[in-house]
């Protein structure tokens, strides 16, 4: 790139994850926080190393950001990612609730830069999904239980959906659910193909997931726990540093950056 450091902007900088990203960028090597933007909370207190918190997306352009990290909400991403794509800025997206239609749109508009959407930045969680896919051909029943704090607005989580999709891609030999009657609707969870997903929302949780696979006489449980939001920061930093090597367009997940694609 010919620069001594990456110029990084954070969108959603006043949120809990946004503030953690600002700190991680300031502490990271070969990175510089050049813009901290939150479209709804310009008066919030944010430790951004002297970089002012603003409410204008154009501040990323003025600061000549190389990469913007987006931790907002889906509606905000839909509005603001096209503006960043138009300026040719690489974007790392941690926003949840985006749809397949959103993915198709981002794939089309990021023709001069890269958009990396990450269902989960915790490297252990990414490995959990990878291991679940590897194990899937050897089992014929499976269920996913994901646990999050009770401020999370969507369910199931993007990580749970991504896990089920990868497991289904790895095997199509899942047995049908034998349940005939749910005494309470939804008792068997949401279904993605034949894999049930159960979402727990509770005080005291951060982000946790277990995948339970079963076959005759045995079960295998693969579980990951994030007990602090700092667990996501190594994956965020990896994404910021690695996105420049990705092709233009859309990439889902950090597997390619970890070499486990």
Sorted by where each starts, the structural domains of the chain and their CATH numbers stand as: 6-117+229-258 (3.40.50.720), 123-226 (3.30.360.10)
| Confidence (pLDDT) at 45 | 64
Q: Is pLDDT above 50 for 2? A: no
Q: Which residue has the higher pLDDT, 170 or 41?
A: 170
pLDDT tier for residue 134 given thresholds of 50, 70 and 90: very high
| Confidence (pLDDT) at 49 | 73
**Residue keyed to tokens 């030999």:** 173
| Active-site option among 7, 130, 148, 208 | 148
Tens of pLDDT, residues 33-77: 999 999 887 566 666 678 889 999 999 999 999 999 999 999 999
Q: Does the annotation count 181 as an active-site position?
A: no
Distance CA 168, CA 82 (A): 32
pTM reported for the whole predicted model: 0.83
Q: Does the annotation count 62 as an active-site position?
A: no
| Active-site option among 149, 152, 168, 256 | 152
CB 62 within 8 A of CB 99: no
Can you give the length of the chain in residues?
Answer: 261
Angle, helix 158-170 to helix 123-135, in steps of 10 degrees = 30
Rg (CA), the chain: 19
- Average pLDDT on 219-235 reads 94
- Closest listed residue to residue 235, CA positions, set 107, 149, 135, 119: 119
């Amino acid at each position: 790139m010919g620069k001594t450091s990456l110029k990084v902007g954070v969108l959603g900088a006043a949120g809990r994850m946004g503030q953690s990203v600002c700190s991680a960028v300031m502490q990271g090597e070969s990175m510089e926080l050049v813009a901290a933007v939150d479209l709804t909370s310009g008066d919030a207190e944010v430790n951004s190393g002297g970089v002012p918190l603003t409410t204008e997306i154009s501040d990323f352009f003025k600061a000549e950001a190389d990469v913007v990290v987006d931790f907002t909400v889906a509606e905000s991403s839909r509005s603001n990612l096209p503006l960043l794509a138009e300026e040719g800025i690489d974007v790392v997206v941690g926003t949840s609730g985006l749809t397949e239609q959103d993915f198709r749109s981002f794939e089309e508009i990021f023709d001069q830069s890269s958009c990396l959407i990450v269902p989960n930045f915790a490297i252990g969680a990414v490995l959990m999904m990878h291991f679940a896919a590897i194990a899937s051909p050897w089992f014929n029943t499976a269920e996913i239980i994901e646990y999050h704090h009770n401020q999370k607005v969507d369910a199931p989580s993007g990580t749970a959906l991504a896990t089920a999709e990868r497991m289904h891609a790895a095997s199509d030999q899942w047995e049908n659910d034998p349940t005939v009657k749910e005494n309470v609707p939804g008792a068997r969870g949401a279904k993605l193909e034949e894999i049930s997903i159960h979402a727990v929302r509770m005080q005291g949780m951060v982000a946790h997931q277990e995948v339970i696979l079963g076959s005759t006489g045995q079960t295998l449980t693969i579980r990951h726990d994030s007990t602090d939001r700092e667990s996501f920061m190594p994956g965020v930093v990896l994404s910021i540093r690695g996105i420049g090597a990705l092709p233009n367009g859309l990439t889902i997940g950090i597997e390619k950056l970890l070499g486990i694609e």
